Amino acid sequence: MSGLTPTQLATFHEKGYLVVEDYLTPEEVNSLLTETHHLLDTFDLDTHPLTQFTTGDDSSDAKPHVGDDYFLTSGDKLRFFFEPDAINPTGQPKLTRPKQQAVNKIGHSLHTLSPPFKAVSLNTRTAAIARSLRFQDPRLLQSMVICKQPRIGGAVPPHRDSEFLYTDPPSAVGFWFALQDAGPGNATLVMMPGTQGEGIQRRFVRGKEEEEVLNVKAGSLVLIHGNVLHKSDRNESERSRFAYTFHVIEGAEGWDYDERNWLQPSEGGFSRVYQ
């Protein structure tokens, strides 16, 4: 399996991201969507703590998931996190819509616990891309489906993935797969080209002229440099924007995974990409 072309590599290093169209076949996209809907239909709401997903930047009174045990212990499990706007704001927590339309994301180990997602994650294509990016011992972690539900899919502010999956030196690369068409109408990814060279620090000052709003078809892969700023807006449309994403970090000697990162490896360690 061939990796990235020289032109693709040049684009990735210049912009901090790369769009690869038609990376997944229609059959693969359908398989992942079918699996996602099955998971949404069958998870047990009666035993769920109704943990909401927020970024930790939310100033509302709703309890953020950051620091919540249900979230912090989800790195090797399949768990479901709700949109804050899908839960009634007062009284006993209760969903205001069917559970399938209330979930923000499913995570964070689809690549080990779901066969369809494992098939598109731990394979020769991922390994070939990792080799193109000169990974020595790539490890795969934090796999999840982001639902971006119609009308309530929450905004994600500008951030760098390496802020959350920090290695010294930084090494994170995000693999983001569109499972549905994603464009300006349904809260697609918004990239800040070239910001991967600015270092890891929180900045919320990018102007509109420095943003690129992606318009990608289902099946497209977006490779995201761990240091490039990106965001997504609230989904005010009537269309969901399902996407699957995972991250790869360097596991070779000389790269240290920060023990303060929210996601810590289980006993078996993070999944090896090179088999």
Q: Measure the CA–CA gap between 137 and 274, rounded to whole angstroms.
A: 7
pLDDT score at 51 = 78
Query: Does residue 254 lie within any of the structural domains?
Result: yes
Number of domains in the chain: 1
pLDDT at residue 92, rounded to an integer = 83
| 22 Ramachandran zone, left/alpha/beta (phi>0; psi -120 to 50) | left
Give the three-class secondary structure for 250.
Answer: strand
Quick check: is 175 in a domain?
Answer: yes
Q: What are phi and psi of 127, to 5 degrees?
A: -60, -40
Tracing tokens 């339309």 back to the chain, one arrives at: 101
Is there a domain that residue 1 lies in?
no
C-alpha 171/C-alpha 162 separation (Å) is 8
Does residue 195 lie within any of the structural domains?
yes
* Assigned domain for 81 exists: yes
Question: How much is the pLDDT for 204?
Answer: 43
Nearest to 4 by CA among 131, 124, 121: 131
Range of the domain at 211: 6-272
- Using a 10 angstrom Cβ sphere, with 0-12 exposed, 13-18 middle and 19 or more buried, the burial of residue 166 is buried
What's the pLDDT score for residue 67?
47
Verify cis geometry, omega within 30 degrees of 0, for the bond prior to 98: no
pLDDT of 199 reads 65
pLDDT of res. 170: 97
pTM of the predicted structure, to 2 decimals? 0.92
Reported residue count of the chain is 275
Counting as low any pLDDT under 50, the low residues of the chain are: 59-62, 66-67, 203-206, 208-209
Q: What is the DSSP letter of 9?
A: H
Residue pair 233/214 in contact by the 8 Å Cβ criterion: no
**Burial (CB count within 10 angstroms: exposed 0-12, middle 13-18, buried 19+), residue 112:** buried
Question: Do the beta carbons of residue 131 and residue 245 sit within 8 Å?
Answer: no
In a domain, 243, yes or no: yes
> What single letter denotes the amino acid at residue 239?
R
pLDDT digit string, tens, across residues 99-138: 999 999 999 999 999 999 999 999 999 999 999 999 999 9
What CATH number should be reported for the domain holding residue 125? 2.60.120.620
Q: Which helix (H) or strand (E) holds 30?
A: helix 26-42
pLDDT at site 55: 61
Q: How many angstroms separate the CA atoms of 157 and 207, rounded?
A: 13
